[in-house]
Each structure stands twice: as C-alpha cells, then as structure tokens.
A and B are shown apart, each in its own frame.
Chain A
Amino acid sequence: MEYAIKIKDLVKTYGDGTQALKGVDLNVESGEIFALLGPNGAGKSTLIGILSSLVNSTSGDVKVFGKDLIKDRKAVKSMIGLVPQEFNFNMFEKPIDIVANQAGYYGVPRKDALARAEKYLKQLQLWEKKDSISRGLSGGMKRRLMIARAMVNEPRILILDEPTAGVDIEIRRSMWSFVQQIAELGTTIILTTHYLEEAEQLCKNIAIIDRGEIVRNTTIKDLLKTLDIETFIFDLDRHPDEALLKTLGATHKDDCSIELDVPKSKDLNSVFKQLDQAGYQVSSMRNKANRLEELFVKMIENKGAKA
C-alpha cells in the first residue's frame, strides 16, 4: 500500500515550552479522504503547519510520498496544497491574481497559470468575481477562493483545515461534492473539521488528536462500531405521560417526542412493545443528531478524566 503521508514520533515544542505534539505517529493512504479531528488546542493546526512547512518540527520523521520533509522540502512543498482556517490572502487583490500568482510561485508559466486559475475559479463558481476586490467577497466565496488557490498547483495532497466553517448548508454540500470529485481524480485529502457529520460523510479513515497525542486512528466504520449506546427520538401520537417516561427511562424532548438511549444489547422491538402496551402509536423515529459527535465527546471526556 502506498502512503501519501507517513509520520513517525513527531514532536513539536514551542519556544514557551508548550508541547503541542507529543510523539505523533500517523499514516495516510494515497488517494483517500482522511479526517483529523480534535478539540481546539489539540495540535491539529500544528500538525498541519508542519506538513505545509509553516511550522518547524522539533523532532520526528515526516515522509510525503516517500520524500523526507526536511531533506527534500522543495519536492514535498510541490506536492501539497493548503486551505488554512483563517483567510490568508491579500484582501486588496483580485481573485484571478491571487490564484494565478500562487501558480507562479510553484513555477507555472503565466499563460498556463491564468488558464489554471480560470479552470479552478470556474469549478468553484467564482469566475464572475475574478476581477472583484477580494475583500468584498462573502465568507463562503473567500473560503472557495482559498480552495481554488490551493488547487492551482494541482497538488497530490490537499489539506483542508476546517474548510466549511461559517458557510451555509448549500455551499457546504457543494464543497463536499467538489472534495469528492478531486478525491476521485486521485488527490489525497486531509480534512480537519468541527462538523463531524462532514467526516462521517466524506472520510474512510479518521484520527482523533487530543493534547498532542493521537487517541484513535482507525476507520470511521470501526470507530462507530465501538459506540455501545445509540440515542433515538420517537415521535408519538400524543403527549407522553410521566409513567411512560419512567417505564422506558426516556426523557421528554418536546410536545409529543421522547428521547431514549438504547444499548446495543437491547433490540428496538422491546421498546415498540412497551410503547404499544402503554397505548402509544409511533408516528416516526430517527437517530439523534450525530453518532460520531457523541463518540468524540465521550472519548475526549474520558481522556480528560484519566489525565
């Protein structure tokens, strides 16, 4: 199996003594969409900073498609495109110049750079704004502009640091579709996000980082299997009474809905049976919000309790 990224025992200690990464080991397969999750201050940005040469590592090995980050930095830089969390382009420049200039820094001749800028600005629905001053773009457009800029050198690895933060659902979905398209073309994608639904939708493998350490590195499917309790919401035909809530161990959510934690060992038939016996009809049922989110919170809480 070819690895896009192989990280071994990566340590980063900042000048003030803060240890942001405490010996991180991580492998990312070529061509996959990989999720990197963690709470604020967990070390995600430091890890991304090291991969994109914006942060110097203290020790450890990083290999990108077999090339050593330190010894062969130029080759590694050529393979990586970065979409950072914060807007980091010149707000007084035009999108066409921002994207074409970035291609130029990667050695793409001007004519080709302009052609590539057109291609990616069109793909990200920004072509009509190509000559506008970037400061005037909306938040979602600015974020898409950074994706176009990161794609213009046609990287083998695209790092997206919370790319959909602050964008509306429609744009988020179109960005997901774009990410899936470029992944299908063979680009490896590393995605950090706070929207766990995003990771669940897009990614096969996931690493959870907390306090500078990888606490889990597995497939999303396997990770979800470890979830021993699922929360369901049942919409009933009438307002539930206290006796029902007590019998089921449920909580009253709103009006005619109840929320119930169901252990994996228990089947849902018994829940329906109890509701039927109590004279309630279930009009609909759904899984509560995001299972991954629950798991993530649980893992981080457990680790915090142990620390």
Chain B
Amino acid sequence: MSTTRIGIQTLLRKEITRIIRIWSQTILPPAITMTLYFVIFGNLIGARIGEMGGFDYMSFIVPGLVMMSVITSSYGNMVSSFFGAKFAKHVEELLISPMPNWAILVGYVSGSLFRGLIVGLVVTLVSLFFTEIKIHNVWIVLSTVVLTSVVFSLGGFINAAFAKKFDDIAIIPTFVLTPLTYLGGVFYSISLLPEFWQNVSKINPVLYMVNTFRYGFLGVSDINVGVAYGIIIAFVLILGFISWYILHKGIGLRS
C-alpha cells in the first residue's frame, strides 16, 4: 500500500473519529432542524400550499432539505475542522509530514463528505416519517450529493485557510451560504418567479445542485440536468485547484 494512501486513510480515520465522538454537535442538530422543517413547512403549511412541480409539497421539499443539510454539514465540517487544526496548530502535524498537498486535501474533503453523507442519510430517514420517497434515478441522486458535498467541503477549506479568527468562519455561512441555499429552489420551483428573477436565480450554483438532486428523486427539474452537472463539476475543479494552490503556497498556513 502506498505511503500516501496510508496518510489519507489516517487523516480520514481521524476525521471520522472526531465526527462520531461529537455526534451531538455534528449529526444530531441537522436532524432536529430538518424534522422541524418537515413538520412546519411540509405538514402544517405544505398542506395548504397544495402541489409544487406536480408533486405534493412535502415530496417536493424533501430532496431540497436533504441537500440543504448536506451543504451546511459539509461546509461546516471542513471549516471548523481545518480552522480548528490551524488555530490549535496541530495542522503542523500534516505540514511537516511527507504527505503531498493534494493528499491532505483529499483526506479532509473525504472527512467532510463522510459527515455530509451521514447527515443526508439521517435526514432522508427522518423524512420517511412524513412522506414516501420515490427514486427516479439512484445514480443521479448519489452523484449529485457526492459532488455537491465535495464543492462545499472545498469552499469550507478555502474559508478556513483565509480565516484568522473564529468570526471569520461564521461570515460566509451566514451571509453567503444561507441566502444562496434558501434562494436555491429548496422551498419553491423557480417557475413561480417572474422571468427576471428566474434569470437572476440561475446565477445561483445551489439551484443547479438542488434541482439535479430533486430530478434524481422526482424526475422533474427547473433546469437542464446536463448543464447542471457541467456547472457542478466545474466548481469541483476550480475550487479544488484553488484549495491545492493554497496548500502548495502555504497561504494562511506557512510564513
């Protein structure tokens, strides 16, 4: 087994141990939040909304809410874990080791992907108490959730690398991530919006992720799924390169 692969496995094991050790902070909160969303938006308000995109409102929002929890968990995991390691300086354990920069990145992203998928699975299981889930195409569901989790893990990494204090890791989730997610078609179809706002919505990358994921479940989407894949993969490559470059140059990590 190559030494690099052992390094990645070690880092992933460390991350999984951390996520499981503090499960009440990493896995439980999104499950509770999403249960409340299902109860309030799905059951209480959703019953009065009627259909959305040809499906009852609860069925419509389940994929969006699962994706929302995956996005926030993946981003949150990376930003807190990597900034925590930087702040407490134990990131130096990795920086002095012979692990290549890309391997450090793969290790951390895999950890965030693990948390994103676990949270996504838990929220999906919770949703089964409220509605039935149909799956139109399981491969689209799985590929979208993995790619989206990777995109936001990389985003969290970039945020953590530039952050100098704990406040800096709260700014992006509050002022960028939350608005993008709420306006990314989680709760509504953009076909309800006037044409101008439909076009504005299309510059939001989360829209493509949520709609592709929803297409995997329901077979309906506001946007072209092929274009959506292209955009998501482009984000993975661009953010992946920026993250690697940060590690390569040691931005925010080495003097």
Rounded to whole Å, the gap between the CB of A20 and the closest CB of chain B is 9
B5, closest chain A residue (CB): A107
Interface of A is mostly: loop
B40 interface residue, CB < 8 Å from A?
A: no
Q: In the docked arrangement, what's the CA distance between A78 and B97, Å?
A: 7
Q: How many interface residues does chain A have, given as a range?
A: 35 or more
Chain B CB within 10 Å, residue with most, of A54, A75, A97:
A54
Rounded to whole Å, the gap between the CB of A11 and the closest CB of chain B is 14
Rounded to whole Å, the gap between the CB of A147 and the closest CB of chain B is 14
* CB-based contact B14/A107 at 8 Å: no
Q: How many residues of B contact A (CB 8 A)?
A: 30
Q: In the docked arrangement, what's the CA distance between A106 and B14, Å?
A: 15
Contacts of B98 in A (CB 8 A): 73-75, 77-78, 105-107
* CB-based contact A56/B250 at 8 Å: yes
Contacts of A90 in B (CB 8 A): 85, 88, 90
* CB-based contact A104/B9 at 8 Å: yes
Q: In the docked arrangement, what's the CA distance between A101 and B1, Å?
A: 16
A109 interface residue, CB < 8 Å from B?
A: yes
A39 interface residue, CB < 8 Å from B?
A: no
* CB-based contact A105/B254 at 8 Å: no
Stretch touching chain B among A80-88, A118-126, A233-241? A80-88
A7 interface residue, CB < 8 Å from B?
A: no
Contacts of B99 in A (CB 8 A): 105
Chain A CB within 10 Å, residue with most, of B10, B96, B99:
B96
* CB-based contact A107/B2 at 8 Å: yes
B237 interface residue, CB < 8 Å from A?
A: no
Rounded to whole Å, the gap between the CB of B44 and the closest CB of chain A is 40
B residues 107-164 in Cβ contact with A at 8 Å: none
- Taking Cβ atoms with an 8 Å cutoff, the residues of B that contact A are 1-4, 6-7, 9-11, 13-14, 17-18, 21, 85, 88-90, 92-100, 250, 254-255
- Taking Cβ atoms with an 8 Å cutoff, the residues of A that contact B are 14-15, 46, 49, 52-56, 73-75, 77-78, 80, 82, 84, 86, 88-93, 97, 101-102, 104-110, 113, 149, 153
